[in-house]
Structure 1
Amino acid sequence: MQFYRFGLLILSAIVGSVVLTGCDVVAEQATSSAPQATPVGVVTLKSQALTLKKELPGRVNAFQIAEIRPQVSGIVQSRLFVEGKQVEQGQALYQINPAVFEAELAASEAAVARAEASIASSKAKAARFSELLKIKAVSQQDFDEADAAYKQARAELLTAKAQLQSAKINLDYSHVSSPISGQISKSSVTVGALVSANQATALATVTQLDPIYIDLTQSSNELTQRKKALASGLLTVDPATQTDVELIMEDGSIYPHKGTLQFSEVTVNPSTGSVILRAEFPNPEKLLLPGMYARASIVEGVKADAILVPQRGVSRNSKGEPTALVVSAKSIVESRVLKIDRSVGANWLVIDGLKAGDRLIVEGLQKIRSGAPVTATEVDSSALSSTNKAQ
């Protein structure tokens, strides 16, 4: 009997141990099935004033171009410049044989002297006849003829002076000079060549390279959108920087001098749907030459409440839409579909989908999904930007 009781005690102890062990297993399984908060790095977004710029393609054009042509005919006596060198406004470039023009000038001076002598005689005669007419010593007809002769002499003097002026101009034109300052091209004629007044072929070309123009091309749609944004207040104008232009050269380097936007055309090219914007740049080193391709960055305006988002925090969904993951107030991951305007350095300019104060997840994205609990740690945004640039 005692043995039977002892057996029951042992059996009760074994059953109790099994039951307690089963409870511990169930508790451990319940604990392991509860979602764990995943640590992630976030950036708290802030709005800021941002100057928006647009990069446009363009071509370099000379500030001024002058084609040198003779205005009188004759033989080229000498060339007075070095090809390819800088010439100044008014500098003599060619000398056309002046002998014929000097002779014409001398003849014109003689004609003026003869007319002046004639006018002195006719003037005195007209004055005498005027006094004689008062006492009826001459007839009215005699006076009228004397007065007409005086007036004719005055007209002949004016004609002679005009011919003299023309002769001086032709003599001056025998010295072919530069109308502008700039760099001169090679000469198309040599000494001894016969040239004609206003001939079709230029003797040389002078090009002013400092300052210099950049003609930029912008689509009419972009120009219209910018005007609408300025009119609606989405963009504002900063007078201090609105006309600033930055030039990117063919090799990708930044041109050392800032340019100024001059004007935009008022007509749209029907074949390209674009308008021309002209910018003026200093060119003291002559780095820019007409015909070169260049890209320029112009100021569109200032966006007062811009939201810049690190590019590493933005991905694409199956539809190709840009998306981002943010941490809610309850530390739960939320997915947002974004509307992006453009890239700004290592960031995206977001115009819809995110706002100031949102905590954007930029680290640990591979370990989480929408709806998951997370533990957010703030990431240094400046260090993040430098990392993006290094990448």
Structure 2
Amino acid sequence: MRFPGKVERHAGRARDCGRHFTKTLRRAALAATCASVVALTGCDDKQQVAAAGPPPAVAVTVMTIASHGAAAQIDLSGRVEPIRTAEVRARVDGIVQKLLYTEGTDVNAGAPLFAIDDSDYRAQLEQANAMLQRALAVQTNAQSVVARFRPLVQRQAVSAQEYEAAVSAQGQAQASVADARAAVTLAKLRLERCVVRAPIAGRVGRALVTEGALVSAASATLLAQINQLSPIFATFPKSNTAILDLMDEARQGGLQLSKDIRFPVQITLANGRAYDETGEVDFADLSIDPATGAQSVRARFQNADRVLLPGQFVTGRFRIGERQDAVLVPSRAVALNAGGASVYVVGADDIAHLRQVVLGDQQQGQWEVRSGLATGERVIVDGWQKIAPEQRVRAVEQHGPGPGP
């Protein structure tokens, strides 16, 4: 019995399996060929790299560290204070009639600032003058009585008691004259004080009262304030602990302090601009503030251009002496980051090593290195941005500290 349909189906499946097996063999052969090509290519690259050798050394500029004498400086924050300040207050009662100055200008001592209504005080002066005239008339009469009684008492034409009463009346009249003259002087002073004048020379601020305001001598109404701006002070609080550290360093020989208290001071304004004038320390407090543990230091500036104003925030740099055997490197050789400061040091094998350092003061484009470097070592000044740690370099020597950044 024959089954042609089944036989044909089995034959078709066999042909399909043969075709699939053939395709699989072809794919395997192609993959093996590609792998061989890649392997051969990788071998060629490795052979080329090995034949080329290590990468060329990067050219950098280095400086050999040497010790120098460097100025010992301290940076302190402080505020500007007027050398003199005066509060202009009312010394009489009355109504302000007129403002006699321009706010925010410089005035001389004695310059008129305010006018207070003086009509009452003029009347009081006239009254005092009248009382003085009356007292003078009484004094004249008493003197004439004494003059008439003096020869009469010698001839006993007048009793001694009458003469003594005349002399007593003359004394009372003289006292009344002195009292009246004092009243006149006081009335003149009150009248003069109706014009409020500047007690010192300086820059006067805004008026704190206006025309029509009632001012009082009893409460000493504040009218304005005057600050002397030239010369002017800048006061800096300094930690007593830091001062003791400086003294210890001086005893150990690393710091030579100046024997003169009048250290030169350079200040930087709040916007970062350096102030042109150099001041000097003229006072250092002899006591320590128990609340803050700070000692106040004061510097004096001429401030002829009136750039420094009371209350202004400044940063002062004090040159207090000289450090011996200081290690200085150009500022451009130092990398600053959150972890501190670092430099690249080139060893004898021309390998660049990254070194962490502790910095001191910065002056004239150079950093003072307190620790981390020693004399004789070579520091990369230019080109360290192009290299990585432990990389070979080609060092070109630069002599001297070099310019600033």
Q: TM-score, normalised by structure 2?
A: 0.68
- Tell me how far 1:52 sits from its aligned partner: 1.3
- Tell me how far 1:42 sits from its aligned partner: 5.5
CA distance in 1, matches of 2:252, 2:188: 63
- Tell me how far 1:123 sits from its aligned partner: 2.4
Secondary structure, aligned partner of 1:136? coil
- Tell me: CA distance 1:351–1:86, structure 2 relative to 1, closer, same or farther (3 Å): closer
Question: Would the aligned equivalents of 1:42 and 1:376 in 2 still touch at CA under 8 Å?
Answer: no
Whichever residue aligns with residue 236 of structure 1, its letter is: L
- Tell me: CA distance 1:159–1:279, structure 2 relative to 1, closer, same or farther (3 Å): same
- Tell me how far 1:219 sits from its aligned partner: 0.6
Question: Would the aligned equivalents of 2:90 and 2:221 in 1 still touch at CA under 8 Å?
Answer: no
Matches within 5 A, 1:75-224: 75-199=95-219, 201-224=221-244
Question: Would the aligned equivalents of 1:327 and 1:359 in 2 still touch at CA under 8 Å?
Answer: no
Q: Which moved more, 1:252-261 or 1:195-204?
A: 195-204
Secondary structure, aligned partner of 1:83? coil
Question: Would the aligned equivalents of 2:108 and 2:198 in 1 still touch at CA under 8 Å?
Answer: yes
- Tell me: CA distance 1:254–1:223, structure 2 relative to 1, closer, same or farther (3 Å): same
Secondary structure, aligned partner of 1:104? helix
Question: Would the aligned equivalents of 1:87 and 1:178 in 2 still touch at CA under 8 Å?
Answer: yes
Gap regions ≥5 residues in structure 2: 1-59, 349-354
The equivalent of 2:264 in structure 1 is: 244
CA distance in 2, matches of 1:292, 1:136: 85
CA distance in 2, matches of 1:95, 1:200: 16
Whichever residue aligns with residue 171 of structure 1, its letter is: L
CA distance in 2, matches of 1:245, 1:81: 36
The equivalent of 1:31 in structure 2 is: none
- Tell me: CA distance 1:368–1:284, structure 2 relative to 1, closer, same or farther (3 Å): closer
The equivalent of 2:304 in structure 1 is: 284
Deviations 1:315-359 (A, max 9, x none): 9xxxx999997999xxxxxxx99987545455554678988xx42
CA distance in 2, matches of 1:85, 1:321: 49
Question: Would the aligned equivalents of 1:67 and 1:202 in 2 still touch at CA under 8 Å?
Answer: yes
The equivalent of 1:270 in structure 2 is: 290
CA distance in 2, matches of 1:353, 1:314: 12
The equivalent of 2:44 in structure 1 is: none
The reply to whether residue 360 of structure 1 matches residue 377 of structure 2 is yes
The equivalent of 2:399 in structure 1 is: 380
Secondary structure, aligned partner of 1:68? strand
Secondary structure, aligned partner of 1:381? coil
Whichever residue aligns with residue 254 of structure 1, its letter is: A
CA distance in 1, matches of 2:230, 2:78: 18
CA distance in 2, matches of 1:301, 1:216: 18
Gap regions ≥5 residues in structure 1: 1-38, 329-335, 370-374
Secondary structure, aligned partner of 1:203? strand
The reply to whether residue 61 of structure 1 matches residue 81 of structure 2 is yes
- Tell me: CA distance 1:40–1:119, structure 2 relative to 1, closer, same or farther (3 Å): closer
Question: Would the aligned equivalents of 1:59 and 1:214 in 2 still touch at CA under 8 Å?
Answer: yes
CA distance in 2, matches of 1:74, 1:183: 26
- Tell me how far 1:312 sits from its aligned partner: 8.3
Q: Which moved more, 1:169-178 or 1:55-64?
A: 55-64
Whichever residue aligns with residue 306 of structure 2, its letter is: K
Whichever residue aligns with residue 360 of structure 1, its letter is: E
The equivalent of 1:332 in structure 2 is: none
Secondary structure, aligned partner of 2:103? coil
Secondary structure, aligned partner of 2:83? strand
- Tell me: CA distance 1:71–1:200, structure 2 relative to 1, closer, same or farther (3 Å): closer
Deviations 1:113-138 (A, max 9, x none): 22222222222333443443444333
The reply to whether residue 302 of structure 1 matches residue 322 of structure 2 is yes
The equivalent of 1:43 in structure 2 is: 64
Aligned length: 335
Secondary structure, aligned partner of 1:297? strand
Q: TM-score, normalised by structure 1?
A: 0.70
* Higher CA-based Rg: 2
Q: Which moved more, 1:125-134 or 1:268-277?
A: 125-134
CA distance in 1, matches of 2:200, 2:112: 11
- Tell me: CA distance 1:224–1:143, structure 2 relative to 1, closer, same or farther (3 Å): farther
